[in-house]
């Protein structure tokens, strides 16, 4: 029995293996527990292993590659088309085995532990920001019940809270029980702010040591957060044939529903990494806000586009352009200049 290709369906504790030989005949269908998977592949001759790019996939790709196997990760959405009927582990492993041999299949580069660590910092930071927003909104709503309304922004809210807890001149009309509840939210906001600053310092330290991240941060609309997220997420920018393909991967191009000579374009497809897409769109919105008095080719392009299109559409268009520029800098190892046309 000579196994040449294996489809591996991974899970938390149960793994399904589907193997074929060089003629395509099925020669292996087995189910393993987690502790038996590494010993099995350690004894198996080197072969091609396909895995869906889902949770823990990058860890297993590194483990199996260290044993001498060729491991390829694939987006689950692209594998689903090869499932013949029904949904179970054996059918999924068979579909993975077939999909990994397709010449037109698109693969996901395996991330290093360092890249996954930086992305974990990003995910944790995003969670902390959401929790801070929830606590601030709760405090703002509670204070409004007593006629105390703060201007937008966390800083303005904290100033109002300081007035409520002022020992010399406390805000009248707020009962003691309400102060008890507000004190809990106040402490939680302070804790979240400290945690957020610590995560930002971690990202800034890594950013200063990474040449690619430093180059990306020079692009208008890309700061430390977006630059580090792009570098950690895009393991191999050369896997994209062009900047447009990179922007399409991020979901920043129109969704098509065309047939024959009828070309139908809708809103942006919103495919790919939603976190990166959100960062780029938010950054583009900030660039538009501050480009009114600037005299650069990018500012001129934005002003011309704003005369014909809504602001939100222009912000997405600028995010698309920013993504293309970022791809060009990463692939060609270049430095951004506001008067150079890169994308």
CA atoms of 132 and 196, how far apart (whole Å): 9
**The pLDDT of residue 340:** 64
DSSP state string for 259-323: BTTB--EEEE---S-HHHHHHHHHHHHHHHHT-TT--SHHHHHHHHHHTTS-HHHHHHHHHHHHH
Considering the entire predicted model, what is its pTM? 0.87
- Asked if residues 142 and 256 have their Cβ atoms less than 8 Å apart, the reply is no
pLDDT at 172: 76
Report the run of H or E that residue 254 belongs to, with start and end: strand 254-256
- Say what the pLDDT of residue 331 is: 93
61-111: per-residue pLDDT in tens? 999 999 999 999 999 999 999 998 888 999 999 999 999 999 999 999 999
- Residue tagged 């991967």 (tokens): 249
Taking the C-alpha atoms of residue 128 and residue 131, their distance in angstroms, rounded to an integer, is: 5
pLDDT tens, 177-208? 888 899 999 999 999 999 999 999 999 999 99
- For the domain bounded by 5-99, which CATH number is listed? 3.30.420.140
Tell me the chain's radius of gyration from C-alpha atoms.
26
In angstroms, the CA 115 to CA 246 distance is 19
Regions of the chain where pLDDT drops below 50: 342-343
């Amino acid at each position: 029995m000579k196994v040449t290709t294996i489809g591996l369906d991974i899970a938390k504790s149960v793994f399904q293996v589907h193997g074929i030989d060089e003629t395509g005949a099925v020669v292996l269908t087995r189910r393993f527990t987690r502790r038996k998977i590494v010993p099995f592949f350690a004894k198996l001759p080197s072969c091609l292993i396909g895995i869906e790019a889902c949770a823990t996939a990058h860890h297993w790709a590194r483990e199996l590659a260290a044993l001498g196997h060729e491991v390829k990760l694939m987006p689950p959405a692209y594998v689903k088309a090869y499932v013949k009927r029904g949904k179970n582990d054996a059918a999924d492993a068979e579909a993975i085995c077939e999909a990994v041999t397709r010449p037109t299949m698109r693969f996901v580069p395996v991330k290093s532990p360092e890249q996954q660590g930086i992305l974990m910092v990003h995910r944790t930071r995003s969670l902390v920001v959401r929790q801070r927003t929830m606590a601030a909104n709760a405090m703002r709503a509670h204070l409004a019940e007593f006629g105390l309304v703060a201007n937008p922004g966390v800083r303005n809210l904290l100033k109002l809270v300081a007035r409520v807890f002022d020992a010399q001149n406390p805000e009248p009309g707020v009962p003691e029980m309400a102060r008890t509840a507000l004190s809990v939210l106040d402490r939680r906001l302070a804790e979240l702010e400290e945690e957020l600053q610590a995560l930002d310092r971690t990202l800034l330290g890594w950013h200063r040591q990474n040449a690619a991240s430093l180059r990306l941060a020079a692009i208008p609309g890309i700061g430390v957060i977006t630059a580090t997220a792009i570098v950690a997420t895009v393991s191999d920018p050369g896997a994209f044939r062009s900047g447009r393909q990179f922007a399409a991967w991020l979901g920043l191009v129109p969704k098509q529903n065309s047939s024959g000579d009828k070309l139908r374009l809708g809103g942006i497809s919103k495919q790919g990494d939603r976190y990166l897409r959100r960062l780029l769109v938010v950054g583009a919105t900030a660039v538009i806000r501050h480009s009114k008095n600037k005299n650069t080719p990018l500012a001129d392009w934005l002003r011309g586009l704003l005369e014909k299109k809504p602001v939100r559409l222009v912000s997405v268009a600028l995010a698309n352009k920013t993504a293309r520029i970022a791809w060009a800098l990463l692939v060609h190892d270049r430095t951004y200049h506001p008067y150079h046309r890169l994308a």
